[in-house]
Structure 1
Amino acid sequence: MITCPYCFTKVAPGRIAFRCLGAGGRAKGCAPRPDTVLGAFRGGAGDPVLPPVFTARRAGRRAACPSCSRESAWRVCPSCHSRLPAEYCANPGKIVALVGAKHAGKSTYIAVLVHELMNRVGEELHSSIVPCDDRTIERYKQDFAGPLYGERKLLLSTQSAVASPRDPLVYLFTRTVGRLRRRTASLTLVLFDTAGEDLRQREMSELHLRYLSAADAVIFLLDPLELPGAHAALTGAARARSGTLAGDLMSDQMDVVARVTELLRGKSGKLTIPAAVALSKIDELRESMERQSALHRAREPIGALDLDDRDAVDEQVRSLLHQWEAGMIDRYLQQHYTTYALFGLSALGSVPEGEAVARSGIRPYRVEDPLLWLLYRFKMLHGVRR
């Protein structure tokens, strides 16, 4: 089965639909018409005008349009009519969902993680990451990389999907694994920039239920500046930036973890999908940690998961949660997930200066750690003890 990375409907490979290529050059084809299915899914002002969608008795890499006989390789999801890239259909991979509380820095995390996977981390792992559609290319450059890396401006808070419907960013991450028998393994990163308020409102849950239920793993991003017990460990600008949601009764970090877990749950018992739980903005709290803390060390780029380092960071973050009066998060995860891990990271690496990135620039710290752990769980990365 292939999961559509846009509407998250499961489709058998033989039931994938096609879109006619239409007329082009000297070739005759079907005339474009409003696609009401795609228009309804996108929730925009009007229906896009495109050549029609058709089904084939035996869907392969190509199929002939029954109306004009033109062969098409343009495959689409039969449920939402979004285009399914050929590479994605050939390597469906795993779907990783990213969720987080309000102000946790999800948009910034997405921008920096993709940038690092394209550059520093991609080179270390000998991997590639490519966008699966033109919309992903456009959105990443316009909404993420452009403002953050180009203009050095902080990204705006994500608007609720009710007011601003949007497509997910869909990337295919690929690397060669295995020592004796080499094979290519892929991971589908579906980064849906979910607003914190969308996760807390019960009437909005249906909008994200399919996204979460289709996930093979989940990354929780939590804001430590909103943990009441962490306030005393902050200084200067970081202290001024903390506790901004204290009056918002629906933005508690624990409530977001519980709400997402509720949406993920399909039956009784512990959830079996791996959960990576990361405290963002950890750079703003490092001064209060002991110098021998694992979070004072940068990860060594060894092309594998350092299991000793992983254990040390996990234990350090667990200790901090209990120290900052958030131990219930750890206890809840232990009760509801068979496999989970704790992380501390910083997408920017230093405290912003007003609405701009610090003059020292963007210096990400351990931003790739959750994904490396998931690659290890998916047997796409080996682990070592040193």
Structure 2
Amino acid sequence: MITCPFCFVKVAPNRVAFRCLGPSGRTVGCAPQPDGMLGAFRGGPNPPVLPPVFSVRRPGRRAVCPTCSRESAWRVCPSCHNRLPAEYCANPGKIVALVGAKHAGKSTYIAVLVHELMNRVGEELNASLVPCDDRTIERYKTDFARPLYADHKLLTFTQSSANVPRDPLVYLFTRTLGSRLRRRTASLTLVLFDTAGEDLRQREMSELHLRYLQAADAVIFLLDPLELPGAQAALHGSARERGGTLADDLMSDQMDVVVRVTELLRKRDKGRVTIPTAVALSKIDELREFMERQSALHRTREPIGALDLDDREAVDEQVRALLHQWQAGMVDRYLSQQYDDYALFGLSALGAVPEGETVARSGIRPYRVEDPLLWLLYRFKMLDGIRR
């Protein structure tokens, strides 16, 4: 089965539809017409005008339009009519659900994680991360990379998908494995979808978010330590001003968001949640100086091209201790009761306290931002684990 990365409906390979290429120059093709199904998915008063969608009995990489006889390679989801990237259909996809309350830094995390996978971490892992479609290219550059890396501006809060429909970021991740004599490549498709904290305020989530979470192969929870009452005493300066902003928003409590998402995942798994789940404290740079000097969170991860299992266990234990120290031990207790496979992380996407609405003058210096994904790649059998 193929899970559409846009509407998250599961589609059998023999049910994939195609879109006619339409007329081109002297080449005859079906005339464009309003696509009501795609328009209903994207919202707005005017549906896009595109060549029609058609189905064939035995779809392959290409199919012949039964109306105009033109061959097309534009595969689309029969449920929403969004175009399915060719690489996504050819490689096993992994949908990573990124969730968290408001202000947790989900959009900033995605922006920096993709940048690091394309550069520093990609070089370490001998891996490439390439977008699967033009919409991913455009959205990442427009909504993430340009404002953060070019303009040095903090990203605005993600708006609710009920008001602004958003496309996921779909990337093909490929690693070269083995020795020089016996090299091979392994690929998987990563689907990253940043959920607005506003969309997780109620148990009655939108149908799109229900399907999104039900289709997830892994979950990354981002928790903002600045919103944990026990951690606020350790804050100072601008960090103190940025903490505790959700105290009066009764529906955005971080623990409540964890519970809402967990209840949905439990219904899917009919019991304890079985998919790997990473729970990360974001913005950890603003609290590191108050941790003990021997804390594992004072060490940067060594670039060894594998998951350091000893380091992983040390960080997990340190974050667990911090949760209990900051009066948030219930998070860990709840996770242990509901999840078969979860791990705790501490990270910082920016690496330094922002200066107003801009990043620090020292620039973006991510700290352990890749740790949750490396652990997931290990769980997906795309990365080795070693002890040293």
| Separation in structure 2 between the aligned mates of residue 244 and residue 190 of structure 1, nearest angstrom | 31
Give the partner amino acid of 2:13.
P
- The structural deviation recorded for 1:186 is 2.9
| Separation in structure 2 between the aligned mates of residue 10 and residue 268 of structure 1, nearest angstrom | 19
1:150 aligns with 2:136: no
Partner of residue 221, structure 1: 222
- The structural deviation recorded for 1:100 is 1.1
1:297 aligns with 2:299: yes
The 8 Å contact of residues 94 and 189 in structure 2, kept in 1 or not, is answered as: yes
The 8 Å contact of residues 19 and 76 in structure 1, kept in 2 or not, is answered as: yes
- The structural deviation recorded for 1:188 is 2.6
Partner of residue 165, structure 1: 165
Give the partner amino acid of 1:147.
P
Partner of residue 236, structure 2: 235
Q: Aligned pair in 2 of structure 1 residues 96, 181: CA closer, same or farther (>3 Å)?
A: farther
The 8 Å contact of residues 203 and 260 in structure 2, kept in 1 or not, is answered as: no
| Separation in structure 1 between the aligned mates of residue 209 and residue 68 of structure 2, nearest angstrom | 38
| Separation in structure 2 between the aligned mates of residue 29 and residue 165 of structure 1, nearest angstrom | 30
- The structural deviation recorded for 1:185 is 2.9
| Separation in structure 2 between the aligned mates of residue 95 and residue 22 of structure 1, nearest angstrom | 32
| Separation in structure 2 between the aligned mates of residue 184 and residue 4 of structure 1, nearest angstrom | 24
- Unaligned runs of 5+ residues in structure 1 are none
- The structural deviation recorded for 1:169 is 1.6
| Separation in structure 2 between the aligned mates of residue 212 and residue 185 of structure 1, nearest angstrom | 26
Query: Matched residue of 1:198: which SS?
Result: helix
Structure 1 residues 124-133 or 101-110, which shifts more?
A: 124-133
Partner of residue 78, structure 2: 78
Partner of residue 324, structure 1: 326
Structure 1 residues 35-44 or 359-368, which shifts more?
A: 35-44
Partner of residue 117, structure 1: 117
| Separation in structure 2 between the aligned mates of residue 87 and residue 190 of structure 1, nearest angstrom | 12
- Unaligned runs of 5+ residues in structure 2 are none
Partner of residue 38, structure 2: 38
Give the partner amino acid of 2:335.
L
Query: Matched residue of 2:231: which SS?
Result: helix
| Separation in structure 2 between the aligned mates of residue 224 and residue 288 of structure 1, nearest angstrom | 13
Partner of residue 106, structure 2: 106
Q: Among the aligned pairs, what percent are the same residue?
A: 83
| Separation in structure 2 between the aligned mates of residue 278 and residue 372 of structure 1, nearest angstrom | 13
Q: How does 1:10-49 map to 2 (within 5 A)?
A: 10-49=10-49
Query: Matched residue of 1:56: which SS?
Result: coil
Q: Aligned pair in 2 of structure 1 residues 126, 228: CA closer, same or farther (>3 Å)?
A: same
If the length of structure 2 is used for normalisation, what is the TM-score? Answer: 0.97
Aligned residue pairs total 386
The 8 Å contact of residues 2 and 10 in structure 1, kept in 2 or not, is answered as: yes
Q: Aligned pair in 2 of structure 1 residues 89, 311: CA closer, same or farther (>3 Å)?
A: same
Partner of residue 187, structure 2: 186
Residues 226-272 of structure 1: CA distance to partner in whole angstroms, max 9, x if unpaired? Answer: 00000111122111111011111111111111111112222432111
Partner of residue 313, structure 1: 315
Partner of residue 195, structure 1: 196
- The structural deviation recorded for 1:183 is 4.4
Residues 145-165 of structure 1: CA distance to partner in whole angstroms, max 9, x if unpaired? Answer: 110001000011111112222
1:250 aligns with 2:267: no
The 8 Å contact of residues 278 and 370 in structure 1, kept in 2 or not, is answered as: yes
Partner of residue 384, structure 1: 386
| Separation in structure 1 between the aligned mates of residue 349 and residue 110 of structure 2, nearest angstrom | 9
Q: How does 1:50-69 map to 2 (within 5 A)?
A: 50-69=50-69
Q: How does 1:329-348 map to 2 (within 5 A)?
A: 329-348=331-350
Structure 1 residues 135-144 or 103-112, which shifts more?
A: 135-144
If the length of structure 1 is used for normalisation, what is the TM-score? Answer: 0.97
Structure 1 residues 62-71 or 40-49, which shifts more?
A: 40-49
Structure 1 residues 44-53 or 181-190, which shifts more?
A: 181-190
| Separation in structure 2 between the aligned mates of residue 178 and residue 76 of structure 1, nearest angstrom | 35
- The structural deviation recorded for 1:171 is 1.6
